Amino acid sequence: MPYGSLAAKLAAERMDQLYNKFRGVDVIDAHSHFGNDKFWVHEGDVDYYVQKAKEHGIGATLAMPVPSPVFKEGNREETLSYYEVENGEIKHYHVEKRPDKEIWIPHLQGTNPYKKANDAIYKMCQERKDFQFEYVPLLHPKYYSEEDIAENVQRGANIFKIHGIACGIDPQEIDPEFFHLLEKYRAKLIIHTDYSSKDDLASRNSAMNWIKVLEKYHIKAYLAHAARLDPEAIDIINHDYRFIVGLGPDRYLGNCGLNYQRPDDILQTIFDSFEPSKVVFDIDYPWNIRGINREIKNIDLGMDWRTVERLDKYLGPEEKEKVLKRNIINFMF
C-alpha cells in the first residue's frame, strides 16, 4: 500500500476511534476544573458537577485541575504553586501552611509542581463510573520534565492545560524546548487567555501573544474565553487549522469587562466573529457564575448551567452539533 494511502487509512481509523469513544454523547464540556483553588470562592466539586451536567444533557467532560490547586488536610494547607515578585523577578514556590509556621519551598527544574493535582484528577477520571471524564493534566511551562509529559501521555492524555496567570509566566519567555517536547508527543494545549489595558502579566497572556509564540510550532491550541474577542486574533484563528476557541463561561465573560470588546450579547458576538467550526462548548466550572455584582465588587450572582439551552437562539441544528461535540473531537485528532 502506498505511504499516502496507509497514512489516510490510519488517520481514518484514529478518527473513528475518537467518535466511537463519544458514541451516545451529544454534549461534551471541553473545559472544566475540579479541586480547591487558592484564588476562587467556589470549589470544583465533582458530585455537584455530575448532577448538574446530567440535568443539562452534558455526557462527557474534559477534566483538569483548578489553576492554583490547594490541598487541605486537617490544620495543614498546601498550595502547589505560588509566586511572588522579588527584586523584579518572579519566584515560584510550593507553600505549606501549618498552625505554627509557613514553609516556602522553591520549585525545582525538571519537576511538575502540579503533579499531586494531576494525580488526583487522573484518579477521579478512572474511578467515576457514573460519568465520562477525559483526563487533562495541568502543565507549568517553566517547571516540567519529559518524563512527566510522557507519563501523562501514557495515561491517555493528549491535551494539556496551561494557565499563564496562575503560573506567573510570559509566553514570550518560554524556552522553545518546552514546545519541542509537546510537538514530540503530539500534545494539544488548552490555553487560558486574558486581557488588560495595562502592561502586566494579564496583557502578556493575551490570545495574540500566545498565537505569536505558537505559530512557530506544530501544536494545536484551544484558546479559552473566546480569545477575549481580540480582533487581531479572531482573523488568525478563523484561518489557521491549529486554533479554536472556547465560549465559556459566557455569562461571566459577558459582564466581567475583561475583553477587547464589550458587547451586550456575548454569544451573538462570538458566533458573529468566529466560524462555527472554530467554537467549542465549555462550562469552565467552577467559574461558570452568572456574573459580577458591580455594586459589590467581585461578589458573584450564583452558578449558571444553561449555556446549552441558550445556544438554540444562535445556532441551527448542524452548527449546534459542531459546537457541542464535533469541533472538540476534531481538535483531539
pLDDT tens figures, 6-29:
667 767 887 888 889 999 999 999
Q: Distances from the Cα of 88 to the Cαs of 34, 85, 91, 175, in angstroms? A: 33, 6, 10, 20
C-alpha closest to that of 327 among 19, 16, 12, 1: 19
What is the reported pTM?
A: 0.94
pLDDT at 295 over 90: no
Can you list the domains of the chain with their CATH numbers? 26-68+109-332 (3.20.20.140)
Where do runs of H (alpha helix) occur along 22-130? 46-55, 115-127
Where do runs of H (alpha helix) occur along the chain? 3-21, 46-55, 115-127, 146-154, 164-167, 176-184, 201-204, 207-214, 231-239, 250-256, 266-273, 307-310, 317-321, 327-332
Indicate the pLDDT class of residue 265, thresholds 50, 70 and 90.
Answer: very high
Q: What is the pLDDT of residue 184?
A: 97
pLDDT at 300 over 80: no
